[in-house]
Structure 1
Amino acid sequence: MQLDDAYANAAHIPGADAFPPAWEKAAAAFRSKLGARAELGVSYGPTDRQAYDFFQPEGVSRGTVVFVHGGYWMKFDRSSWSHLAAGALGRGWAVAMPSYDLCPDARIAQITGQIARAVTHISKRTLGPIALVGHSAGGHLVSRMTDPVLLSSDVRGRIEQIIPISPVADLAPLMQTSLNETLQLDAAEAQSESPANMSPPHGVNVNVWVGANERPVFLEQAELLARAWGARRVVAEGLHHFDVIDALADSESDMVKALLGVK
């Protein structure tokens, strides 16, 4: 369809096929090394995919990061990303990584509701501030958590930082791609589920992150969200859609510092 190539990330990344198995291998090794500090498969909803992994830092946590994975709402689960918890854990934060039901078994609006349920469940077992970070479709989902109808005021009030990484902020163009055979977006859902159409959040520090070597539409989507929300946009030089997330594993990276509010 008209915009298929514009939103095709893997087709424009050299060696793209090697990334998913590398992520899975690194994630499994990280969980194994963490041992008892990794609590796996905590249920937050009625389906098998509505579960999260919870990683504890050494000592008392300073707060909790929730990472939401991408995959155009139709691929992957929490098990491929565990190693990305290393940066926040290294600074004394707990990290939760939820899975969610995928399209076409669930609509995007239903997935948004599932992530709100996950964040609420996680908030009940933790103390202190919450930081949200998500990649691609996950960037969309963490951005949606600022909608006041999704989270109670006490949970929303604990969210201090949000980093949407390479987010899809306007869903309407996806209706002009073959992705929509699975997503099944209509105009009403695209409108209501687009973070760019939401009111800017108050009391939350938002940094929109994107790789400089991403597809032009992802640079445009990041700019759109940053402009709509009056948020800071960070364009990471030399990085593309698949490696821009690597900085989450480094406790000294600018991304992790921004996520945790480190000056």
Structure 2
Amino acid sequence: MDMSTNSADPAPAIDSELESHYNLRARHPERGAIYHGFAQRSAATRRNASAHLDLRYGPEPSSTMDVFVPQAESPAPLLVFIHGGYWRALDKNNFSFVADAYLDAGVAVAMPNYALVPHATVGAIVDQVCASMDWLMGEAPRLGFDPGRVLISGHSAGGHMAAIMACPQRAPALRGRLLGCVCLSGLFDLQPLLRTSVNTDLNMTPAEALALNVYAAELADVPLLLAAGELETVGFRSQSEEFARYLAARGRAAQSMIVPGRNHFDLVGEFADPGSALFAKTLALLRGARQ
């Protein structure tokens, strides 16, 4: 896998409106406190006896994965959760707590890590995460989950990668195994990022952004739940709402969900809350049959 950074064409001028939609660091100074709470909860999760930590799925230093498997008489369905961070920040360890409620519901959870820019291009990162599924499906007998019942999920940049992984050409190991896909504050068209300061780090070219456009992907015919927080920017809410409309117009089982009172960051907590509607919808997909 080529993990080097591409040279970039001259960057287009920053669009102030797009910057306000997608530069979330300036908009959400409270994200530090939210992530601190996530880290504390995740440290406890990682001490759970069900945790298989830092399993190596590939040769890169970043190619590690955590898998949490409940005690059960039969193999559990599997939720794959891909963390966000604009392909430039964060780590699977920040989000281990997501597994807690799903384990209690009898669901196994896998969380792949991946390289971050500038050590890899966005395209190489997407390829790395897709390839991780080859290893994971092969480890099902040893780890004790059901490889025939898999739900892909992810947050923000992870939501983009979850949608890409629902394309059999990109993640062939998941072909015929998917129960559905849940994207939290997902990005389905990366081209708006080209005219924001985010791309100063990502260094994507227009051709790369176009190649990673989920609209052009041939997704598996499985249900998709596209959730965003009510308090998110117009840019992030419209990414989910417009992609859901696009899929529904083509006869696909896609649902947009705006979660009241949640922003881009604390939406992950809602996904992990057994009392939330978002958790209930995700669990219903996990307990459903493959399409």
Structure 1 and Structure 2 fold alike (TM over 0.5): yes
Report if aligned partners of 2:80, 2:152 keep a CA contact under 8 Å in 1: yes
Cα deviation for residue 12 of structure 1 reads 2.5
Secondary structure of residue in 2 paired with 1:4: helix
Alpha carbons of structure 1 residues 180 and 98: separation in structure 2 relative to 1, 3 Å: same
For residue 258 of structure 2, what is the aligned residue in structure 1? 235
Paired AA for residue 224 in structure 2: V
Secondary structure of residue in 2 paired with 1:157: coil
Distance 1:81 1:70 in 2: 10
Distance 2:201 2:235 in 1: 20
Match of 1:29 among 44, 54, 58: 44
Alpha carbons of structure 1 residues 30 and 148: separation in structure 2 relative to 1, 3 Å: closer
For residue 66 of structure 1, what is the aligned residue in structure 2? 80
Distance 1:156 1:234 in 2: 26
TM-score (norm 1): 0.93
Distance 1:88 1:41 in 2: 20
Distance 1:54 1:114 in 2: 17
Match of 1:134 among 154, 157, 171: 154
For residue 3 of structure 2, what is the aligned residue in structure 1? none
Cα deviation for residue 14 of structure 1 reads 5.6
Cα deviation for residue 171 of structure 1 reads 0.4
Structure 2 residues not aligned, in runs of 5+: 1-13, 141-145, 249-253
Distance 1:220 1:155 in 2: 28
Paired positions, count: 259
Cα deviation for residue 113 of structure 1 reads 1.0
For residue 53 of structure 1, what is the aligned residue in structure 2? 66
Q: How does 1:62-211 map to 2 (within 5 A)?
A: 62-126=76-140, 127=146, 128-152=148-172, 155-199=174-218, 201-211=219-229
Secondary structure of residue in 1 paired with 2:194: helix
Range moving further from structure 2, 133-142 or 249-258: 249-258
Match of 2:278 among 251, 255, 259: 255
Structure 1 residues not aligned, in runs of 5+: none
Match of 1:41 among 46, 54, 63: 54
Distance 2:280 2:273 in 1: 10
Distance 2:200 2:25 in 1: 19
Match of 1:19 among 9, 13, 34: 34
What whole-Å deviation, never above 9, does each CA across 1:200-239 have from its counterpart, x for those lacking one? x343110100001101100111112212222100000111
Distance 1:247 1:95 in 2: 16
Distance 2:110 2:90 in 1: 16
Cα deviation for residue 49 of structure 1 reads 1.0
Divergent runs of 4+, >4 A: none
What whole-Å deviation, never above 9, does each CA across 1:52-107 have from its counterpart, x for those lacking one? 11111121342111000000000011000000112221111110111100112111
Which structure has the bigger radius of gyration? 2
TM-score (norm 2): 0.84
Aligned alpha-carbon RMSD (Å)? 1.6
Cα deviation for residue 21 of structure 1 reads 1.9
Report if aligned partners of 1:163, 1:208 keep a CA contact under 8 Å in 2: yes
Range moving further from structure 2, 134-143 or 78-87: 78-87
Q: Percent identity?
A: 32
Report if aligned partners of 2:168, 2:220 keep a CA contact under 8 Å in 1: no
Report if aligned partners of 1:39, 1:53 keep a CA contact under 8 Å in 2: yes
Cα deviation for residue 172 of structure 1 reads 0.4
Cα deviation for residue 13 of structure 1 reads 3.0
